[in-house]
A and B are shown apart, each in its own frame.
Chain A
Amino acid sequence: MLAGDFLIVDPTGDFDPAAPPEWKAAQGRSGDSAKMLKRTSASVPEDKLRAIQNCFAKPPLRYRLPYEQLRANYQKADQLCRQTIAALSNADDMDCP
């Protein structure tokens, strides 16, 4: 909880790269929860996003993970994120719609 896992893990289903949990949470109050992000060929590849997301276990499994595995998962997520950001850092980031 205190690391903020709950902000990026969807308790209702599998991870959707076109509607990540923080995006859905932001849409919830404006009542347009069905709205999806438009992915293009320039977007972060789905397989990379899924590999990163798989490092974050959902509750209740999250609470049963031993310390070492939890730590290894965070380290792996950090490593994958750094690689992905480095690979895309040369292009212009047009993230704001």
Chain B
Amino acid sequence: MQMIWIVRNRRIVALMGLWKLDGGRSHFDAAVQEAKQAVEHGCPPGTDIVARFCLTREAFRADDADPADVIGRFAKANGDETTATTALAVASLLALDVGDRRLHEHCRRASLDKHANTPALWTATAYLLDRYHRYWMYHPPFTAGWTYGRRMGHFLATGEPEDANRTLRVELKTLEGKAFRIPEDTGDKWTVLEFTPSAEGSRHLQRYGAFIKDRPYKDVNLFAVVLNEDADAPNNWKPKPISTPHLRSRAKVYVAIEEWDAALADAEQVYLAVNSKAGWLSMRTAEIEEAEKLKATIISAQGKLSER
């Protein structure tokens, strides 16, 4: 078995992609020729969906074509149990091609009802559920004015449940190396999963953390999912060394709030750092003078304090 249909399918998609990007008819014509070859040479049942997707688009262009009928034939040809699960999603896209809103909604609904959890359709399902696309679909292209923005904002953020039943099943590893399974280990609570690129976390995560803490009901879990390989970063975290100017400034702040011990500790560190840099008294620098003055001020203030 040569399996040349795998190559043909990819060529058809590449040509349709070029057609969509450039708008030139030549790429689409080449895709149609390749699709005809693919159907003619045969392929396993259901895998010809890419070729039929392209040929159905070609069929729309016939003078006497009835788009709904053409899409109906496409769905029927791919409709039995042995053919592709992607057929309904493709039919919904074909309905978009011809601007048939009712047919698009029908195919979209059927695809979401039957295949929302099918891995092959994760991308298509995400597209069909995307509220931004849904808002702008069949929408007049007027964007001026604040009311349009408000209306879109309301549509995107309105708290309705998702338009499909999707279940996340995943097994993650905790910092202790134990398995954490979703949904089994969520304790039947609402669960927020925050995906972060690194273990240091983000301000976004902190905000959600506060939201959960402030809720009157303790019915929400919050988990951070670290995407990089260094999941132990919080355990290995060490504070960054503080620079000498920063230490000097901090010592002055401690002086201002009369935290004398902390001020002296910082001033001492500043004195040691600038002295080391200057070669231990081999030369007097302005920084050493300033550090000594700061130290003396603090010691003097401490002395006066103990005399009281």
Contact = CB atoms under 8 A, between A and B. Distances in A.
Interface of A: 1-12, 17, 20-30, 37-40, 42-44, 48-49, 52-53, 55-56, 59, 67, 70-71, 74-75, 77-78, 81-82, 84-85, 88, 91, 93-97
Nearest to A85: B7
A85 B11 contact: yes
Given A4-B53, A22-B49, A25-B120, A94 B83 contact: no
A4 B50 contact: yes
Complex A-B, nearest 10 residue pairs according to Cβ-Cβ distance, in ascending order: A26-B46, A81-B11, A25-B120, A3-B17, A77-B14, A96-B42, A6-B123, A74-B17, A74-B14, A3-B16
Interface stretch (B65-73, B85-93, B287-295): B85-93
B120 A21 contact: yes
A59 B126 CA distance: 11
B44 interface: yes
Contact of A22 (B42, B50, B97): B50
A38 B84 CA distance: 20
B120 A24 contact: yes
A28 B118 contact: yes
Interface string B110-144: 00000000111111101100000000000000000
B127 A1 contact: yes
A56 B45 contact: no
A21 B122 CA distance: 12
B21 A77 contact: no
A80 to B, nearest CB: 8
B11 A7 contact: no
B2 interface: yes
B198 interface: no
Contacts of A44: 2-4, 6-7
| Residue of A20, A23, A27, A95 contacting most chain B CB atoms (<10 Å) | A95
A96 B50 CA distance: 16
B6 A78 contact: no
Contact of A43 (B1, B14, B15, B123): B1
Interface residues of B, number: 53
Given A4-B90, A6-B121, A24-B119, 5 more contacts: A10-B120, A26-B44, A27-B46, A39-B1, A74-B15
B1 A81 contact: no
A59 B3 contact: no
Contacts of A43: 1-3
B85 A4 contact: no
B9 interface: yes
A89 B93 CA distance: 32
B123 A96 contact: no
B125 to A, nearest CB: 10
Contacts of B123: 1, 5-6, 9, 11, 59
A82 B3 contact: no
Contacts of B42: 93, 95-96
Contacts of B119: 10-12, 24
Given A23-B47, A74-B21, A52 B2 contact: no
9 contacts: A2-B16, A2-B96, A22-B86, A24-B119, A25-B86, A26-B45, A29-B85, A44-B2, A81-B7
B86 A7 contact: yes
A84 to B, nearest CB: 5
A66 B3 CA distance: 32
A77 B21 CA distance: 15
Interface string B28-55: 0000000000000111111101100110
A96 B43 contact: yes
Nearest to A58: B123
Nearest to B93: A2
